[in-house]
Structure 1
Amino acid sequence: MDAVFQTDERQNAAGDLRKTLDRLMRHWYWFVLCAILGLFLSWLYLRYATPSYKIKGKILVQDDQKGSDLPGEEILNQLQMFNNKSSVDNEVEILKSRSLMEKVVRDMELNTTYFVEGRVKKTEQFVKLPFTFHWLTLKDTLDEVKYVLKPLNEKEFTLNYKDVSRKAAWNDTLHLPEGIVWIRRNDLFPLQNDEYLIKMQSIDNTVSDYQLLLDIDIPNKQVSTIDLALTATIPDKGEKVLNKLLDAYLQASVEDKNRIADSTISFIDNRLVIVSAELAGVEKDIQQFKQSNQLANLEEQSKLLVATTGDLSKQLTEQQVRLSIVETLEQYIRDEQNNKRVVPSSLIIQDPTFIALVEKYNSLQLERERALLSNTEMNPFVQNLNQQLKGLRTDLQNNLASLKQGIQAGLAGLQHNANVVSSEIRSVPGKERIFLDYSRQQTVKQELYLFLLKKREESAISKSSNIAIARIIDRGKSEPLPFKPRRALTYLLGLIGGILLLSAWLYLRELLNRRVTDKEDITKNTPAPILAEIGHNAHHERVVVEKESRSPVAEQFRAMRTNLQFILSGKKEKVILLTSSMSGEGKSFVATNLAAVLALSGKSVVLMEMDLRKPKISQMLGLPNQVGFSTYAIGKVSLDELIKPSGIHDNFWLIPSGPIPPNPVELLLLERTEQLFAELKEQFDYVIIDTAPIGLVTDAQILGRFADATLYLIRQGYTFKQQVQLTKELYQQRKLPKINLVVNDIKAKDGYGYGYGYGYGYGYGYEETGTVNVFTRIRNTLVRK
């Protein structure tokens, strides 16, 4: 049972899918048109859309931290348990810095853009500019300003901005509200447009815009390369901007190193002046001492003491040199005027802790200088750097104090040993002892002087050999094709969009449609069976059923006649009532042609025009309506005077409605009306009643007591779905006898149900003027169904 149920569900789903596809295929030409329209709109969009290109570059950063001597570091890195901060990350942040981009914007004057008017849109120009704006002074806070420059000739032009127009010559300097500008003419490129649009915005806004367009990424943590990508609408402009950014970055890197070298050389030069003066003073004292004491050569006299005190003197000299350097650095750091300068690195004592502090201090000093390029001293970030520098200066002073204590302690020990030797020197003549003191001072000053000269040369050599921390692997180069809009994707979206838009419109039209369009709209709302389906009368004929008529609509009425045999099964069942939900659903048309098709079969038929409020049949057939049911009901005419020939067929008779009465319902309730139906049943084989819509008045229900069968008219595309539910109540509560539905005015292009006449129609190749009689085939098909 479950298998059968699942099979039915699959069949129903397949049927619904096929039905949906059939509905869509009925509008295939609209889908083709919408697809073509979507492709055309895509082409139009691609024709006038501004393309965006990716400008890509790559640099290699010198990163000593990628390797380490730490045992097992590779394993720890793989386990992500050891994270060593890479200098590559720092360089990425420098490349993203606002100060670097601001330098590029100012150097290239990117805050000024030039446009020319096209047929549809304005196009930016960059390469072949016939003139350029060079701002000599410019306001810092500047909203976007637009200028319109109209060349008059090769010598003059007019500049319009806001409501002001000024005439000037090329290469003139103009004083504008935004600043002073020099408009330079480039004679290499001719003036090809009548006017140019120049847009000006502030440096800050331009920098922010370009920072958003710049994308910087590290491919992976195993390499020290950096990928840069800049989005630009003009490839040449994007390449120049990216390459300018790379050059500015490399230049800034070299300038940082040169600044440290210059500071070191300046410090050494100052110390050389002092040490040179001290050394000259000691040498002058020795000269005066020898002259005053007439000493020529004391070497032989002091050879023994010199040999004994040589090692001590050398050690004392080294310690004194170190102490002098430490004191000098301590004085340099303590001096408030040097708070904003870097500490000379070439004189650093070989102490790991002190070296690390100096490197960190110099890095913060350089970072503070870069921050001050675009910020003030009161900026929180700068204040934070000042606090960090203050703490590092304290740490440096403490470290130097500790080093100084260690050196002084070593000097104290050496001095103690020297005192022991001095006790022996007391036996030496006083002149020799004084000369040794002078010699010791000379040696200390000379060693310090030579040390400073060596460091100065090293600093000068290092400055001349300074190179940037990175090198360019790939300079900025644009991709050959824009990354947006993508042509293939745009065409595909246009094609799909056109199809989906039409599908959505058809779906919404179907969803919001309140009228009957297909057979399912009827079967879902009422259990009443469908007796017949009548196609659209394209020729607008009142009577389509004639003896020689072979049209599809005529054949559908013949099929209805056949189906009526299954409803009116008894010999005394002759009366057929036609009604509908509202006016305009074709009751009169169907009633007239039904009567005609029954008359063609040799039966006597009388058609009663019982829509006493809006009669149409008499007018449709061109018959007078002065005498009819309304005059008969009040006893003014007899039955013989009431019944009139229709003029269509000899077996087809008509009872007109007569003049419109003021009380139609009361006439239908008269006893004379009941007598009329009794007499008509005796005289005719069929009695067809065309009554008023049951959805508006109760005439049909009153006449229903005389009827043997009821045909309820539903018109495709006209009857509301909600009105179909009215037949459900009439059918279930049997308010009218043998209710059957007749669907009228079915249009083949709307694909109602499954075709005219339960499966036949135009598809059989049946022609109205054809000679093949398919009525028997249709009837047999109906009987089988």
Structure 2
Amino acid sequence: MENMPEHIFKNQGAHLNGHEAREPEKDNGINPRYILDTLMRHWYLFVIFVIMGVGGAWLYLRYATPGYKISAKVLVKDDQKGGDIPGQEILQQLEVFSNKSSVDNEVEILSSRTLMQKVVNNLQLNTSYFVEGRVKETEQYGNLPFALQWLSLKDTIMKTSYVVSPIGKDKFELSGEKGTRTASWNDTLHLHEGVAKFVLTGIPFTRPAYTVKVASVDETTANYQAQLDVRIPNKQVSTIDLTLNARVPEKGEKVLNELLTSYLKASVEDKNRIADSTIAFIDNRLVIVTQELSGVEKNIQQFKQANELADIEAQSKLLVQGTGDARKQLLDQQVQLNVVESLEQYMHDTENSKRVVPSSLIVQDPTFVGLVQRYNTLQLDRERQLMSSTPTNPVIVTMDQQLAGLRADMLSNLASLKKGIEVGIAEQQKNAGALDQKIRQVPAKERIFLDISRQQSIKQELYLFLLKKREESAISKTSNLAIARIIDDAKSDALPYKPKRLLMFLVGVVLGLTLPAVYLYMKELLSRRVKNKQDVTGNTPVPVLAEIGHSASNLIITKTDSRTPVAEQFRALRTNLQFVLSDISNKSVIVTSSMGGEGKSFVSTNLAAVLALSGKKVVLMEMDLRKPRIAERLGLPNHEGFSTYAIGKTSIDALIKPSGIHDNCWIISSGPIPPNPTELFLQARTEELFKELNERFDYIVIDSAPIGLVTDAQILGRYADATLYLVRHGFTFKQQLQISKDLYLQRKLPRINIVINDVKNNSAYGYGYGYGYGYGYGEDNQRKGLLGKRKKRAVLDGK
């Protein structure tokens, strides 16, 4: 009686007081105990799936292509961030040209497609080599016995592959989509992608065949650009970090080092182009000035030979000394005018519009020098931007406009400078006119010689000036350094960054634990039948009175000496039923369910037997007239029963028969199956029968038809004091519990309670009204009884 649930008292109180039964609040909370029991019952699934998950992770790690990160670091000369390269202070004294840089600009150059395409072409990265393994292909690099060298390659090609199989020492077989051919090493082959040749590297062949895959240069460049990451660590430094993702570490290091080499080489070439432009301009002017100087010197020679002059300088010493200062000033002005005219002619030439302007020839005018430096710097920036942009880019167009404006300013400045020089020359010539009056007094030969000597001096000064500037430009070119230097060469990480071994094993374990849990959850969620207590309490407010475990034995399991777990559960049901019917002397219990096969006959028979074991007189009524089973299973005749009594062919005394289960248990069989079972229950003889039975017996157990199919149980319910509604574990549908809910809320049956039937031991059902106690108690008693019999037999044998 200690196992009687509290909600049963509340339920019965509602019926006794005559109030309408109300639906109690549902307990839809999570039952941790049930979840744990369910998981523990299926522990083997978790073990199997964890082993499969870890094994799958191991297989994935075994055959997955690893990825390595190759890193490098570069220091850039940035005037704003103080990234000067050590040792360049001395060289700056010799530099004629200025070329400023920015870290942000260098990042864009390092990320440019043009630079990466140079690396792809230099290393022929569009060609990859693979060898076949047991499961997958593996890329090889650097240790191959041969190499494919492209002599010419088409611009756009589709991905193709060739299989190279060596034949002897001198030949090989080349198989592709177009067929198979045999060729010799170092032969020039005309392939669909271009002209190439296969050359030996001296490494011995270790495989019977090698796969060569060829892709387009553009596609390969795009792929490597996607794998390259160029960034500045922070805004306070002028260093650049480069990271390249690669499948083969050696190949990735080679690519990143080649990228840095090409970048440094390009930065030096930018500086050298300015020096080359200036040197080329000076060389052109030297040719002209040399020819003019040679002509003047030849005229002097001819003049001396014709006039038989030996030392004209001694003869005209005094005159030269008097006119030396004036001639020197005039000479300087004429040299500057010559240079200005040359630069003006260079600036007017449209072919030089996209070239830098030589800035080292004019140093007297700081305004012009400043304009030239700004113009050259903008011209170089425009060429750098063209490496990653097109001429139609708005930035390029803006730079072109700025260049045009600076060029106009320089031409205007040159015009003003030229005009000033011409005014100075005119003034000097005016002064020279006064000296000419004095020179006319000297002999004509000496005057002519002085004119020729003056021309020689002008050309000679110009020649020496150009030689000096050319030497300065050459020294500046040789002193040019790259605007960056490599701090850390390309180096691969020791371990691949993907796949991560620990993470993959962790994912395998998590999947191994998650998948069976999800499977069990979905199985429970999608199940249409009753599987656990929540399925019952969540679908009906009817209280659960008891549960009966699974039994594979015969119909009767509750006997006098029975101590099985199921027998103990029927004893618990008897105890709980006494609380339900505590206020009634003669008690009638009707047993029904939603459909057939839920164990009504089994429960009814054993309930009658366990009540009879308590010393009460019990009658078991087989009132399922449509499909009777009790009498047949008990081996009793069924030619007379309730159906014959209802039509007046059998008396009450003849109707009640011993059941053979217990001396206190009697049975009323169904009799022959009538055509109108429901109408028989409505006759007056049925009411008379129940009145007589209430006087003779303490308990009446009524086995009725399923209430979910016919209304027999509802008609018989008026003769009953309590109702046991059977729910079979794993058999009853969840939606059928709505029938019990309707019966409970509308009070169609008296004192309705649910009995769970056929609960499996391994189902983790979660009930236990006497189940665990009965199991242990019965098992211990049986074991003690067996040991007692063995001891008694041993004593008798000893006597």
Superposition TM-score, scaled by structure 1 size: 0.86
Residue 197 of structure 1 and its aligned partner are, at CA, apart by 2.9
Residue by residue over 1:192-239, the C-alpha shift from the partner in whole angstroms, topping out at 9 and shown as x without a partner, is 24x433322111000000000111112223322221111011111111
Partner of 2:576: 563
State the secondary structure of the residue aligned to 2:758: strand
Question: Which is further off, 159-168 or 696-705?
Answer: 159-168
Partner of 2:563: 550
The reply on whether 1:445 has 2:459 as its aligned counterpart is yes
Determine if contact 2:131/2:210 at 8 Å carries over to the other structure: yes
Partner of 2:7: none
Distance 1:20 1:345, change over 3 A: farther
Distance 1:765 1:347, change over 3 A: farther
2:420 to 409, 413, 421: 409
Q: Higher relative CO (CA 8 A, sep ≥ 6), structure 1 or 2? A: 2
Determine if contact 1:63/1:224 at 8 Å carries over to the other structure: yes
Alignment of 1:454-603 (within 5 A): 454-537=468-551, 539-570=552-583, 572-603=585-616
Partner of 1:736: 749
1:321 to 335, 355, 360: 335
- Gaps in structure 1 of 5+ consecutive residues: 1-11, 70-83, 774-785
User: Could you tell me which amino acid in structure 1 is paired with residue 424 of structure 2?
Assistant: G
State the secondary structure of the residue aligned to 2:736: helix
Partner of 1:777: none
The reply on whether 1:684 has 2:697 as its aligned counterpart is yes
2:217 to 199, 203, 212: 203
Partner of 1:53: 68
Residue 331 of structure 1 and its aligned partner are, at CA, apart by 1.8
User: Could you tell me which amino acid in structure 2 is paired with residue 61 of structure 1?
Assistant: V
2:739 to 719, 726, 729: 726
Determine if contact 1:368/1:382 at 8 Å carries over to the other structure: no
State the secondary structure of the residue aligned to 1:129: coil
Residue 711 of structure 1 and its aligned partner are, at CA, apart by 0.6
Determine if contact 2:68/2:246 at 8 Å carries over to the other structure: yes
Determine if contact 2:83/2:237 at 8 Å carries over to the other structure: no
Question: Which is further off, 696-705 or 719-728?
Answer: 719-728
Distance 1:322 1:766, change over 3 A: farther
Determine if contact 1:330/1:397 at 8 Å carries over to the other structure: no
Partner of 2:797: none
Distance 1:564 1:756, change over 3 A: closer
The reply on whether 1:180 has 2:195 as its aligned counterpart is yes
2:729 to 705, 716, 725: 716
Distance 1:767 1:343, change over 3 A: farther
Residue by residue over 1:13-57, the C-alpha shift from the partner in whole angstroms, topping out at 9 and shown as x without a partner, is 998566655655554554444333332222222112111000111
1:356 to 343, 348, 373: 373
- Gaps in structure 2 of 5+ consecutive residues: 1-26, 85-98, 787-799
Residue by residue over 1:121-177, the C-alpha shift from the partner in whole angstroms, topping out at 9 and shown as x without a partner, is 222222322333223332211121233344455454433323633344444443332
- How far apart, in 2, do the equivalents of 1:406 and 1:68 lie? 39
User: Could you tell me which amino acid in structure 1 is paired with residue 547 of structure 2?
Assistant: E
2:108 to 93, 111, 114: 93
Distance 1:389 1:523, change over 3 A: closer
Partner of 1:192: 207
Determine if contact 2:372/2:410 at 8 Å carries over to the other structure: no
Partner of 1:776: none
Number of aligned residue pairs = 740
Determine if contact 2:28/2:534 at 8 Å carries over to the other structure: no
Distance 1:567 1:216, change over 3 A: same
Residue by residue over 1:712-733, the C-alpha shift from the partner in whole angstroms, topping out at 9 and shown as x without a partner, is 1122333333332332332232
Residue 702 of structure 1 and its aligned partner are, at CA, apart by 0.9
The reply on whether 1:426 has 2:437 as its aligned counterpart is yes
The reply on whether 1:258 has 2:272 as its aligned counterpart is yes
Distance 1:402 1:761, change over 3 A: farther
Residue by residue over 1:358-394, the C-alpha shift from the partner in whole angstroms, topping out at 9 and shown as x without a partner, is 42354157448857xxx9xxx5548975884576256
Superposition TM-score, scaled by structure 2 size: 0.84
2:253 to 219, 239, 260: 239
**Identity of paired residues, percent?**
59
Distance 1:553 1:317, change over 3 A: farther
Distance 1:163 1:558, change over 3 A: farther
- How far apart, in 1, do the equivalents of 2:155 and 2:642 lie? 98
- How far apart, in 1, do the equivalents of 2:450 and 2:379 lie? 42
1:617 to 630, 633, 655: 630
Determine if contact 1:755/1:761 at 8 Å carries over to the other structure: no
- How far apart, in 1, do the equivalents of 2:313 and 2:371 lie? 42
- How far apart, in 2, do the equivalents of 1:577 and 1:639 lie? 20
Distance 1:43 1:727, change over 3 A: same
Determine if contact 1:341/1:365 at 8 Å carries over to the other structure: no
Residue by residue over 1:576-606, the C-alpha shift from the partner in whole angstroms, topping out at 9 and shown as x without a partner, is 1001122222222211211111122232322
